[in-house]
Amino acid sequence: MRAMDAAKRFLAAINRGDGLRDQFIYYMDFEDYKSFPDPFPRTAISIKEVQESIRRYPNPERPQEQFRWDIHGRLLTPAKPSIPGVAVIIIHGGAANEYEFLFTPDGAEKYLDLTETPAETSRVGIAQHIASLGITVLAVSLPGHYSRKPWPPIPARRPEFIIGEITGDKELENRLAVYTFRMCLEAIKLLIERHLPDHKLYMWGHSTGGEYFYLMEQYGLKNRLIGGLGFGTGMPAWLRKQWDLAAADKSPEERAKRFRAVTDLSRRSPEEYVKSGYVGPNQPWGSVERWFELENHRRPQFKPFLQDIEHSAHDVLFDEIRIKSGLPDEELFITFKADLDRLGGKKMLYFVGELDKGHWIEGGKKGLEFRREVYAFQRFAKYADEVRLVVIPRLTHYGHVESYNERLANLMVTGFKEYFQAS
């Protein structure tokens, strides 16, 4: 009974506006979240590795050659599609890869048949849950972030821009100088168009991966994007800059200071996870140190500075980057060029954890309108047909791997079935 009531309250909110606050926000009860039902029967899934390569940007050591960039993913296909012809593209955030959506830190590193294993005890990744509900999923690893071997100790790690190859010092520096969103976007686009040519898409970019949704159509994606889907999802950088100027305590110069070594990598640590607010009460693996122990063999734990610079709207470094990269302006900071007019005709359904420091907590002391997701959605609402933001208690920025992650999948797929399809 609780499950059915939870579904009714959620649907009444997103479809009719019942119980919404501040026009588009639904505050979900945690007991409703824990009990939210499957929207479709579970089905078996098949798993396929997919990989493509693009060539982009001249290699200064061999000017006649362009750098090769490999992109990797896992395609999860349901035996019985619940919404035929529709797929979800999942793009990870900083320092992660596709594994974050395939497995959980405390779960087995395997693919399970969720028609035989109860979803609530399986502890598989959210991509497996979504696919088992009948939706095709492509989980993507951006260039450099995937390895077929266990990663070495974090201080020694280097991106595998060509999977299986480790670059030397000079090539690493040259590649990091041109690790642009523009390059990543072209790689994502190729992977999608090669392996899902006939599918309409929802695109969920977690954190830094969130910007691609706003850019894919603008840069020529052939597939139709149905609507905006998010959890802990980034906004376009030009909007992020506006939010920083309105809500942040530091100046643009102060915020950008640690990224002046453009051709470097930031490396994750347990201490940084605590500082960033990534640790919360809904994490069954225990300490943050244990989290790292469980994930270090498959999670890269590094992020190119230039990716952070473009995502975090550090355009005060633009002149330095132009010189270091040698790239024309049209290749740089495309995150500042997202055209929100393309939201017209689309709905948006985003989820955020109440304990997500960056996306929900920061800015709140200045008022609700300065919470990052609220700030963004107030502006999206001027362009999109409809916007809904669902706030879930106890979840952090990493709610998709925390306890009850199968319920987040249920919420998303229910949205596909009842909210997006309603139009």
Percent share of the chain, pLDDT over 70: 100
Q: Which domain holds residue 264?
A: 43-420
Distances (CA, A) of 50 to 71, 76, 77, 148, 212: 8, 10, 13, 13, 19
CATH number, residue 116: 3.40.50.1820
What pLDDT does residue 369 have?
96
Residue 4 lies in a domain: no
Which candidate, 361, 364, 368, 355, places its Cα nearest to that of 397?
355
For the chain, how big is the Rg over CA atoms in Å?
A: 20
Residue 175 lies in a domain: yes
Residue 90 lies in a domain: yes
Distances (CA, A) of 403 to 120, 124, 210, 280: 9, 10, 23, 11
The amino acid present at 376, given as its one-letter code, is: A
Residue 314 lies in a domain: yes
Residue 17 lies in a domain: no
Residue 103 lies in a domain: yes
- Phi then psi dihedrals of residue 402, to 5 deg: -80, 180
Structure tokens that stand for 396 in this block: 């952090």
What pLDDT does residue 421 have?
85
Bridge partners, residue 73, by sequence: 50, 140
**Which bin fits 40, alpha (ψ -120 to 50), beta or left (φ > 0)?**
beta
Low-confidence ranges of the chain (pLDDT < 70): 422-423
What pLDDT does residue 292 have?
98
Structure tokens that stand for 7 in this block: 């579904």
What pLDDT does residue 127 have?
99
What pLDDT does residue 423 have?
53
CB atoms within 10 A of CB 148: 9
Residue 22 lies in a domain: no
Residue 174 lies in a domain: yes
How many separate domains does the chain show? 1
What pLDDT does residue 80 have?
98
